[in-house]
Structure 1
Amino acid sequence: MLIYVCLSSHGFGHAARQAAMLSHLHRLQPTWRLVVSSMVNPAFLTLVLRGVPLTQRTVRWDVGMLQEDALGSDQPATLHALEQLQVNLPRQLDEEVAWIRAQDDQVAVLGDIPPAAAELASRLQAPLIWMGNFGWDDIYEPLGGAFQCWSQQAREAYRRGSLLLRCPFSLAMNWQLPEVPLSLVTAEPRPLPADFGAALERDPRIKVMVGFGGLGLSLQPDLFRRWPEHLFLIAPSRTSSQHADAALPANVMVLPEQVRPLDVLPGCERHLGKPGFSSFCEAMSQQVGLHVVERQGFAEAEVLMMGLRRHADHHCLSREELEAGAWKLDQPLESASADALASDGAQMAAEALQTSLRSLLKQG
């Protein structure tokens, strides 16, 4: 069996949750071949999927929303990119169909969550399963205008699936499909390199993970210096854009290349960042307080913030507060209004995928 994952190129969060699920799926079905097809940075995929044998295919299946930075979207550029994708998709589909058929194996398509996965599955006459907390139909529809046709096209594609693995903090995804609701979808922290872990343990400062997704966000170094009793941890991919013209403050530490943000969260008290599905799942699973900068113009952000207030101790920040350094790290967290969520969503998804594919293949 070949599992072909059409993975959104929109951001790192889709890749992180699929890595968590595929790790469980590989343990359940070690003989199944796993293929991840996306434009997400291959080095990031290798990092999050370490220990899982797979093939990577470099294909752009969707556009998502092009962004000015981690908190702002570029609608005109997104519309232009959607039109260009429509030009490129027929050739890409031909190439991937030919490659998959050459593998001479049963195939199933998993979409997270490019609408074009529906056409790929149709061409292959393969089962199609969706996994996500939103579809691009839900994102484009509120934008109106030229986005309406893209929203409708996406919704029609999503309805061609056989199952939806619905992640928490989800939008409507009104696709008229059977569903399996999931809890938090997250991997487990890995042990830290000995020297790095020992250095963190010796450091008496309060640890804060800073994460604004793959694009990062330009924050002035002096903002970190306002919090000398805190040690801020940042991913290495962010240093080039965030601090290109200035030395890192003494209270900012770059993670080693082989360390994921998730791996240091057990030693952190707070997480500072934007609304993000995987960031929320990882921080909530480790009981880390979330300081989240509110984001406008992206429908997913609203349901993420609702989930934050219900299920995590938190602070909500405006962009003005972020850029002024008013991060509330010295204040008690606002308490969640409801119980914490379980953290076994990746295992649930892998088991549901296995069960569904066995059933569909028997029917076929």
Structure 2
Amino acid sequence: MPRTRPAVYVALTPHGFGHAARTLAILTILRQRWPEVRLILATTTPQWLLAANLPGEFTHRPVALDVGVVQTDGITQDLAQTRTALANLQAQRDTLITQEAALIRQEEVQLVFGDVPALAVAIAQAAGRPCWMASNFGWDFIYKDWGPEFEAVTAQMRMDYGQCNRLFRLPFHEEMTHFPRIEDVGLTAGRPRHSLREIRETWGLTVEPARTVLLAFGGLGLQGVPYARLAAYPDW
């Protein structure tokens, strides 16, 4: 029996929290305008982050469709581990494409949307579905200057991106010339659900807002912050 509710398969880069946060803001508005849509989120981004930023039901499919960059903390990149992870992903490529394309057909998904795993495009192609993406860079742009060991994966990504049906190119972007159809758009961001007063009361903040600093590294390396040094700034 055909499903009556339309579905979108959303592929999210699990590197940090930014890709998920900005795409979940889009999906929140999509759901407001199209309440009956079913959302399938394909990512290893933590469930709690998805639930905190996307009201309502969704299906979380914890599958890794890209690697991003392996980091030891918020600013240190591990190129050797990134290369190994990319090689492992490439070894699984055909299996992942077959597996995810079958799911897309089974769930009668109408659209694949990504930020910004190149493999999502190949999956959409195999499933016979269009693929749209939103980002300000492709991972080929990150890898292209990392030497000959990254040339093959960069070339594969550019081939995949070249089959994307539409790119919503966000501000502060690289050229992204391998995408055949580009539409420039504005920034995406979620709307605050709590007032400044509520946040300050919840966290017991008594210092004036102008002297309140948030330390955030996208979930990476918070243990490396030299917290002891913060004692030198008692009025912050």
| TM-score, normalised with respect to structure 1 | 0.59
What is the SS of the residue equivalent to 1:213?
A: coil
Query: Deviation digits for residues 63-116 of structure 1, max 9, x if unmatched?
Result: 11111211011111111111111122322333222222222x242111211110
Q: Which runs of 4+ in 1 moved over 6 A?
A: none
Number of corresponding residues: 228
Instruction: Check conservation: 2:98, 2:126, Cα contact below 8 A.
Output: no
Cα pair 2:163 2:179 within 8 Å, conserved: no
Worse-superposed segment, 143-152 or 201-210: 201-210
Q: Which residue of 2 aligns with 1:183?
A: 186
Residue pair 2:144, 2:150 contacting (<8 A) in 1 also:
yes
Moved more, 185-194 or 148-157: 185-194
Q: Matches of 1:221 and 1:176 in 2, distance apart? A: 43
8 Å CA contact retained: 2:167, 2:179 = no
Unaligned runs of 5+ in 1: 231-364
Alignment partner of 1:8 out of 13, 27, 40: 13
Contact 2:200 2:206 in 1 (8 A): no
Q: Superposition pairs for residues 235-274 of structure 1, below 5 Å?
A: none
Amino acid at match of 1:70: G
Give distance in 2, aligned partners of 1:181 and 1:201: 41
Query: Structure 1 residue 17: deviation in Å?
Result: 0.4
Greater relative contact order (Cα 8 A, min sep 6): structure 1 or 2?
A: 2
- The runs of 5 or more residues in structure 2 that have no matched partner are 1-5
Where does 1:281-320 land on structure 2 (aligned, <5 Å)?
A: none
Q: CA RMSD in A?
A: 2.0
What TM-score results when the alignment is normalised by the length of structure 2?
Answer: 0.89
Sequence identity percentage: 32
Which residue pairs with 1:90 in the alignment?
94
More strand by share: 1
1:211 aligns with 2:208: no
For 2:3, the equivalent position in structure 1 comes to none
Distance 1:179 1:96 in 2: 25
Partner Cα distance (1:170, 1:208) in 2 = 27
Task: Describe the superposition over 1:301-348 as per-residue Cα deviations: whole angstroms up to 9, x where unpaired.
Answer: xxxxxxxxxxxxxxxxxxxxxxxxxxxxxxxxxxxxxxxxxxxxxxxx
Q: Is the 8 A contact 2:65 2:117 kept in 1?
A: yes
Equivalent position of 2:26 in the other structure: 21
Residue type matched to 2:218 in 1?
G
Q: Are the aligned partners of 2:102 and 2:127 in contact in 1 as well (CA < 8 Å)?
A: no
Taking the aligned partners of 1:191 and 1:11, their CA distance within structure 2 comes to 23
In structure 2, the residue matched to 1:32 is 37
Higher deviation after alignment, 170-179 or 134-143: 170-179
Q: Secondary structure at the match of 2:92?
A: helix
| 1:56 and 2:60 matched | yes
Counterpart of 1:33, as a letter, is R
- Which residue of the partner structure matches residue 224 of structure 1? 230
Q: Which residue of 2 aligns with 1:138?
A: 141
The CA deviation string for residues 2-26 of structure 1, in whole angstroms up to 9 with x for no partner, is: 1101111112100000110000111
String of CA shifts for 1:222-261, please: whole Å, max 9, x gaps: 221111111xxxxxxxxxxxxxxxxxxxxxxxxxxxxxxx
Indicate conservation of the 8 Å contact 1:138/1:172, yes or no.
Answer: no
**Corresponding residue of 1:235:** none
- CA distance in 2: counterparts of 1:43 and 1:211, whole angstroms: 17
The more displaced of 160-169 and 176-185 is 176-185
